[in-house]
Structure 1
Amino acid sequence: MSNHQKRLSVPNSWPVERKTETYTVKAGAGPHGEDGVPLLVLLRDVLGYVDSKKEARYALNQDSVLVNGDAISDERRPIGMFDIIAFTEREEYYRVFPDEGGRLALTPVDADAAGSRLGKIIRKEQVTGGAFQLTLHDGTNIRVDDASEYTPNDSLVIDNEDKSVVAHFVYEEGALVTAVDGQHAGDIGTVDEIVVTQGSGDNTVHATNDDGGFETIEDYVVVIDENFTDDDGDAVDEADDATDDDAEADADEAEADADEADADAGDADADADTTDEPADAEDDDETQEADEE
């Protein structure tokens, strides 16, 4: 297997430009499968915190970059959907969330929200000893004694410190879901109907929202809670406020420049008037001498 990764062949979920250069870093072994984005891509191409792989390795060796609560030293570590990235020295926290088109994006969250992450149950099985094992979308395995309340397609909130289950969201009609793949990736809505397809076809989900709603297959939706959407909204509002403040500052600066230009123009006119006065006086003297002669 090749150790190189061409930009043109990277998964659609990777937030990289495909035609600027030929190659990019290849993801190492880890969670999220082939859709996992190397941490270096986020640090260098998305956030711009480093300029090279060497700088990324130096930063990671300081143990100041955490992924789901664990310090990461491998710049090729795959990062995927719903992962929490924390920069302890900067006090910055991000949740990986798919935007429109399915490309992974970083959504700012606060420190409390960064203490746990969301995971979708994709498999439930009984293991040796009688316990049950829940496998999440990123490959995480959670063991529970009683799994009767858990079913595939449910979502769990996992604490990043002790890896315990903090909350459980049931996949059912009326649940709040987000699409993470397909043409509706990034859309959020309430499940109106779950259509079970007989045979090998995919089940479909009808969800409603303020824009009317969307329909997608069951594998593309993840159950979330209202706090999840509040974090995203706060991030958007903060960005809008920052934009408004910048616009006001630019307007004030432009007005100050205009006032300064007017003042300069006034000074120039005053200088011109002062310069013209001696010339006018000389003309009057010459006229008076001519009259006397």
Structure 2
Amino acid sequence: MSRHLKSYAAPKSWTILRKVNKWILRPQPGAHELERSLPIGLLLKQLGCAQIKKESKKIINDKAVMIDGKIIKDIHFGIGFMDTVSIKPNTNLRCTLDQKGRLKFINIPESETNKKICRINNKTTNRKGKSQLNLSDGRNLLVEKKEYATGDSILIELPSQKIIEHFPLAKGNTAFITSGRHIGTIGTIQEIKENKVWCSKDKEKVETLSKFAFVVGKNTPAIKL
């Protein structure tokens, strides 16, 4: 697989000037699908940390970049929804989505760089009777408790993956809509029926599919979004 993309064919979620350069970095395959993944080398250029690929490589080789608490060694490493990015000396970011479906990076306090919310995409049981949670960012966690359900979210500590808090897909909790007409909207879950969820924000009630409702907290988001 080529390690570059033609700029005009880059995902719509990327905020780039498509006619300036013919080629652009391709994120390596990983936890996030191509349409929702931005290579760290490109982010370093967008932030002004590097002007050319060689400078991005030097920053990575100097072990100055961490994603979700782990040092990154490849400029093609893909960043996606809810990932945290730390760049020395003092830049801390979280990847989220704007209301046009584009990847958006917001500044977060250093105290949040070791916290991440993941959605439970599905749940299985192993031979020993433990539940395996298969999460939105590709992680798989074994847990003793049976209370976790597909569609719920968990707040984890990084890089230990310790579960700090559990947010069920339930009325009254707060959800971030990750796709569809209302992408980027954060609202309170008002109703859940079959495969649909209704959320309210600023007195407006919006409808989305339950698979697009990413629970991010109880009364308010548990992290900065």
- Alignment TM-score, normalising by the size of structure 1: 0.72
Alignment of 1:30-179 (within 5 A): 30-34=30-34, 35-45=36-46, 47-87=47-87, 89-146=88-145, 148-179=146-177
Give RMSD over aligned pairs. 1.7
Is the radius of gyration larger for structure 1 or structure 2? 1
CA 1:229–1:140: 2 relative to 1, 3 Å: closer
Q: Please name the residue that 1:282 is paired with.
A: none
CA 1:78–1:230: 2 relative to 1, 3 Å: closer
Higher normalized helix content (fraction of residues): 1
Q: 1:160, CA displacement in angstroms?
A: 0.6
Letter in 2 for 1:207: C
Higher normalized strand content (fraction of residues): 2
CA 1:108–1:228: 2 relative to 1, 3 Å: farther
Q: 1:230, CA displacement in angstroms?
A: 7.0
Q: Please name the residue that 1:289 is paired with.
A: none
- 8 Å contact from structure 1 (residues 101, 181) kept in 2: no
Per-residue CA distance 1:81-137 (angstroms, 9 max, x = gap): 0000012x3222111110111111111110111121110000100124332210111
**Which SS does the other structure have where 1:186 is aligned?**
coil
Q: Please name the residue that 1:180 is paired with.
A: 178
| C-alpha separation in 2, matches of 1:84 and 1:230 | 11
**Which SS does the other structure have where 2:95 is aligned?**
strand
- 8 Å contact from structure 1 (residues 66, 72) kept in 2: yes
Q: Please name the residue that 2:26 is paired with.
A: 26
Which of the residues 202, 205, 208 maps onto 2:200? Answer: 208
Q: 1:218, CA displacement in angstroms?
A: 1.5
Q: Please name the residue that 1:247 is paired with.
A: none
- 8 Å contact from structure 1 (residues 101, 183) kept in 2: no
**Which SS does the other structure have where 2:15 is aligned?**
coil
5+ residue gaps, structure 1, are 197-202, 233-293
Letter in 2 for 1:214: V
Letter in 2 for 1:113: E
**Which SS does the other structure have where 2:202 is aligned?**
coil
Per-residue CA distance 1:202-251 (angstroms, 9 max, x = gap): x221111115132111121200125637734xxxxxxxxxxxxxxxxxxx
Per-residue CA distance 1:24-51 (angstroms, 9 max, x = gap): 1111122112222111121112x12101
- 8 Å contact from structure 2 (residues 5, 26) kept in 1: yes
**Which SS does the other structure have where 2:54 is aligned?**
helix
Letter in 2 for 1:138: D
Alignment of 1:220-259 (within 5 A): 220-225=212-217, 228=221, 231-232=224-225
5+ residue gaps, structure 2, are none
2:15 paired with 1:15:
yes
Higher relative contact order (CA 8 A, sep 6+): 2
Give identity over the alignment, percent: 29
Letter in 1 for 2:210: E
Letter in 1 for 2:180: G
Q: Please name the residue that 1:191 is paired with.
A: 189
- Alignment TM-score, normalising by the size of structure 2: 0.92
